[in-house]
């Protein structure tokens, strides 16, 4: 994995591009390079995974200088593609997937995108056509941001470099801010910095003659359920996932796996071990009796891994949160980013590549909210839609449906009012679009795959991994697995109230029954008294009424009422959760502003709250 930067036009000279590139040093601690051709400038930070020699240096340029690339990612099928190109007469200078990608484009142009399998974000300058091509992988595992102005176009792996561009004004994108507060992440393709955009997954951007156009080259397949025998479906899934895991184990550097003790990560570890690998596994937990730690030990012993455990406590939050936000770059309303940061920090001491279980919940209905689609629940389409909207992240209001409002209040308690000054986000596609129609569960899963998955789950995994120069790979989101899952009926994912049923059956021959039959336990910070106390203290320090008014993100009176509305000890746990999520979201937005609006753009990651005073 790497960090990439590029500019076409007069937005930045080569010195600025070098400084932009150095802001991504954590993404590529092994090497640094820049390249210039007229008004085109690329920068690259390298994390050496394939061909560890100097021949893998980037930006990489063809012999005559007509094509140049800065590339972040891994192309899993590059050995096969290399053989095809050699038959077409290409002579390679390196053993890298980068050169395969560059030479493939030279011969086949944009059509090469349909051939490559992997996780990637790259920029290619085509000098004969005076054309820039940007592309991002199908699932959106690797990030890619871009900014266009009359003076040209810039792109980068992260938001931080854009603040160094000539005449760039660092301002909040209020549409993205509203989305981050309502949905616990920014679901827009606009970033939190005004005028900087995210290239969507499975899309390419072409910049020529001063104009940029964004086009898809792949999209998550629409649900097309087939009448499959359950046992046959499980066997096909096991075979397909096993093939993808094997393809993603390609590396010239040490690799391992994140292991939570849940079904998804345990299945990945078991499949890695089945292919003969001695796997290093890493588990984060809260105290010696944490169920995740205990179950992870069972899997580690079963698969004979080199196992490592990392402890996290609520006391870690206050000190780590500013640093985590520096890497996340956008507010994320879920607290597990802190423990992921610690887990990946520990893993990076031993390996450079980590396989993780992200994506399984979105493919196979793992989240609690999907219970609303169980056939045994006597819900009308309107009632189901209203309740689903209430639990879809952290919506700003109680349902308008009267019965849904009563059920919502009984199940989840009082919902604190949003502190936002602005009205609700006008998200282009509401989370529940089309759910009143046939195949509602399949459509809900498809929506999560196209939105929530890459805007939050994959972004969080990539950011906290690359913070430590650790490449994150996601076998569940290999194209073959995703396209197979689209053919499964919803009742294969949820049977008799059991989530991810077909995945459980697929992995049953590989894991102990205690792991296969373990019900999903959310991977999240333990909401104990210490964490609630920490949130209250952070609120008092970062969200004083005068500071809130000066910032202009929130209504000071609503923010103060929320901070002072901490539930009493007698209130149920759900009341503390709802309050904590809302306060956490406000804190993340304020921390984001202090880092990305107030600080010097070249300041290093804050070591603690003291750096943001």
Q: Would you state the pLDDT for residue 554?
A: 94
Q: Is 149 helix (H, G, I), strand (E, B) or coil?
A: strand
Is the pLDDT confidence value at 593 over 90?
yes
419 versus 473: the higher-pLDDT residue is 473
Q: What is the CA angle 20-72-237, rounded to 5?
A: 145
Q: Would you state the pLDDT for residue 170?
A: 96
Is the pLDDT confidence value at 139 over 90?
yes
Chain position carrying tokens 């990305």: 596
Handedness of CA 469, 470, 471, 476 (dihedral sign): negative
* Cβ atoms of residues 297 and 306 within 8 Å: no
The number of angstroms, rounded, from the C-alpha of 471 to the middle of its chain's C-alpha atoms is: 13
Is the pLDDT confidence value at 298 over 90?
yes
Confidence of residue 385 (pLDDT cuts 50, 70, 90): confident
Is the pLDDT confidence value at 52 over 70?
no
DSSP 567: P
Q: Would you state the pLDDT for residue 76?
A: 95
Beta bridge partners of 31: 46
Q: Would you state the pLDDT for residue 46?
A: 84
Q: What is the CA angle 611-420-407, rounded to 5?
A: 120
Is the pLDDT confidence value at 31 over 90?
no
Two structure tokens written together for 106: 């030279």
- Distant-in-sequence, close-in-space partners of 347: CB < 8 Å, separation ≥ 6: 256, 258, 280, 282, 308, 354, 468, 470
Using one digit for the tens of pLDDT, what is the confidence trace for 238-263?
999 999 999 999 887 788 999 999 99
Q: In angstroms, rounded to a whole number, what is the distance separating the alpha carbons of residues 60 and 523? A: 40
Q: Is 293 helix (H, G, I), strand (E, B) or coil?
A: helix
Q: Would you state the pLDDT for residue 431?
A: 56
Using one digit for the tens of pLDDT, what is the confidence trace for 469-481?
999 999 999 999 9
Is the pLDDT confidence value at 529 over 70?
no
Q: Would you state the pLDDT for residue 275?
A: 86
Confidence of residue 336 (pLDDT cuts 50, 70, 90): confident
* Cβ atoms of residues 151 and 133 within 8 Å: no
How many C-beta atoms surround the C-beta of residue 544 within 10 A?
Answer: 15
Q: Is 156 helix (H, G, I), strand (E, B) or coil?
A: strand
Q: In angstroms, rounded to a whole number, what is the distance separating the alpha carbons of residues 28 and 35? A: 17
Is the pLDDT confidence value at 405 over 60?
yes
Confidence of residue 369 (pLDDT cuts 50, 70, 90): confident
Is the pLDDT confidence value at 434 over 60?
no
Give kind and range of the element (H or E) at residue 376. none
Closest by CA position to 464, among listed 311, 605, 596, 337: 337
Confidence of residue 133 (pLDDT cuts 50, 70, 90): very high
Q: What is the rounded end-to-end Cα distance, in angstroms, of the chain?
A: 33
Beta bridge partners of 193: 172
Handedness of CA 373, 396, 426, 140 (dihedral sign): negative
- Distant-in-sequence, close-in-space partners of 250: CB < 8 Å, separation ≥ 6: 50, 74, 76, 79
Q: Would you state the pLDDT for residue 92?
A: 94
Q: In angstroms, rounded to a whole number, what is the distance separating the alpha carbons of residues 213 and 198? A: 13
SS (H, E, C) 502-560: HHHHHHHHHCCHHHHCCCCCCCCCCCCHHHHHHHHHHHHHHCCHHHHHHHCCECHHHHH
Q: Would you state the pLDDT for residue 592?
A: 97
Sketch out the chain's domains with CATH numbers: 2-216 (3.60.20.10), 230-364+440-516 (3.40.50.620), 527-613 (no CATH)
Closest by CA position to 268, among listed 513, 455, 473: 473
Two structure tokens written together for 162: 């854009």
Lowest mean pLDDT among 44-58, 170-184, 325-339: 44-58
Q: In angstroms, rounded to a whole number, what is the distance separating the alpha carbons of residues 249 and 240? A: 15
Is the pLDDT confidence value at 303 over 90?
yes
Lowest mean pLDDT among 68-82, 134-148, 431-445: 431-445
* Cβ atoms of residues 316 and 577 within 8 Å: no
Closest by CA position to 8, among listed 165, 110, 132, 127: 132
Using one digit for the tens of pLDDT, what is the confidence trace for 284-293?
887 788 888 9
Q: Would you state the pLDDT for residue 129?
A: 96
321 versus 299: the higher-pLDDT residue is 299
| Mean pLDDT to the nearest integer, 587-609 | 94
Two structure tokens written together for 558: 């609503």
Give the whole-number percent of the chain exceeding pLDDT 70.
92
| Mean pLDDT to the nearest integer, 78-88 | 96
Confidence of residue 295 (pLDDT cuts 50, 70, 90): very high
Judging by DSSP bridges, how do beta strands 255-258 and 353-355 pair with one another?
parallel
SS (H, E, C) 89-115: CCCCCCCCHHHHHHHHHHHHHHHHHHC
Write the CA distances from 423 to 175, 181, 331, 397, 525, integer angstroms. Answer: 10, 11, 19, 12, 30
């Amino acid at each position: 994995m790497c960090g990439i930067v590029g500019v076409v036009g007069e937005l930045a000279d080569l010195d600025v591009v070098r400084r932009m590139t150095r802001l991504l040093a954590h993404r590529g601690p092994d090497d640094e390079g820049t390249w210039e051709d007229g008004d085109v400038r690329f920068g690259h930070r390298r994390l050496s995974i394939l061909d560890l020699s100097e021949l893998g240096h980037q930006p990489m340029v063809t012999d005559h200088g007509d094509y140049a690339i800065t590339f972040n990612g891994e192309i899993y099928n590059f050995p096969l593609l290399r053989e095809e190109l050699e038959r077409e007469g290409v002579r390679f200078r390196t053993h890298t997937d980068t050169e395969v990608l560059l030479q493939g484009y030279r011969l086949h142009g944009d059509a090469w995108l349909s051939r490559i399998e992997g996780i990637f974000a790259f920029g290619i300058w085509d000098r004969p056509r005076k054309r820039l091509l940007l592309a991002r992988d199908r699932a959106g595992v690797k990030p890619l941001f871009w900014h266009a102005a009359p003076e040209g176009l810039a792109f980068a792996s992260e938001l931080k470099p854009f603040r160094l561009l000539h005449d760039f004004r660092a301002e909040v994108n209020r549409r993205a801010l509203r989305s981050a507060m309502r949905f616990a992440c920014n679901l827009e393709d606009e970033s939190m910095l005004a005028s900087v955009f995210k290239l969507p997954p499975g899309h390419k951007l072409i910049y020529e003659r001063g104009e940029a156009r964004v086009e898809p080259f792949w999209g998550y397949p629409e649900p097309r359920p087939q009448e499959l025998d359950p046992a046959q479906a499980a066997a096909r899934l096991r075979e397909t996932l096993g093939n993808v895991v094997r393809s993603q184990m390609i590396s010239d550097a040490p690799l391992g796996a994140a292991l939570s003790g849940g079904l998804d990560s345990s299945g990945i570890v078991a499949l890695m071990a089945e292919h003969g690998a001695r796997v290093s596994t890493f588990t984060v937990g809260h105290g010696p009796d944490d169920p995740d730690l205990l179950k992870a030990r069972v899997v580690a012993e079963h698969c004979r891994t080199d196992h490592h455990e990392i402890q996290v406590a609520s006391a870690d939050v206050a000190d780590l949160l500013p640093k985590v936000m520096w890497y996340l770059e956008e507010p994320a309303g879920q607290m597990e980013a802190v423990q992921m940061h610690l887990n990946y920090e520990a893993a990076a001491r031993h390996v450079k590549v980590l396989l993780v279980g992200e994506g399984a919940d979105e493919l196979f209905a793992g989240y609690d909210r999907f219970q609303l689609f169980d056939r045994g629940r006597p819900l009308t389409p309107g009632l189901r839609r209203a309740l689903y909207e209430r639990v879809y992240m952290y919506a700003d209001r109680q349902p308008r449906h009267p019965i849904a409002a009563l059920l919502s209040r009984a199940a989840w308690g009082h919902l604190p009012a949003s502190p936002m000054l602005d009205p609700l986000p006008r998200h282009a596609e509401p989370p529940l679009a089309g759910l009143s129609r046939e195949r509602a569960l399949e459509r809900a899963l498809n929506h999560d795959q196209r939105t929530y998955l890459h805007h939050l789950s994959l972004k969080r995994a990539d950011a906290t991994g690359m913070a430590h120069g650790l490449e994150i790979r996601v076998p569940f989101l290999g194209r073959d697995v995703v396209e197979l899952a689209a053919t499964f009926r919803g009742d294969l994912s949820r049977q008799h109230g059991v989530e991810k049923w077909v995945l459980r059956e697929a992995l049953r021959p590989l894991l102990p029954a205690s792991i296969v039959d373990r019900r999903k336990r959310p991977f999240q910070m333990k909401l104990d008294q210490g964490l609630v106390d920490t949130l209250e203290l952070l609120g008092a320090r970062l969200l004083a009424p005068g500071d809130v008014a000066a910032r202009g993100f929130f209504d000071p009176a609503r923010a103060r009422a929320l901070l002072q509305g901490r539930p009493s000890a007698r209130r149920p746990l759900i009341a503390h959760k709802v309050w904590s999520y809302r306060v956490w979201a406000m804190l993340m937005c304020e921390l984001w502003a202090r880092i990305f609006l107030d600080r010097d753009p070249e300041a290093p990651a804050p070591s603690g709250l003291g750096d943001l005073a």
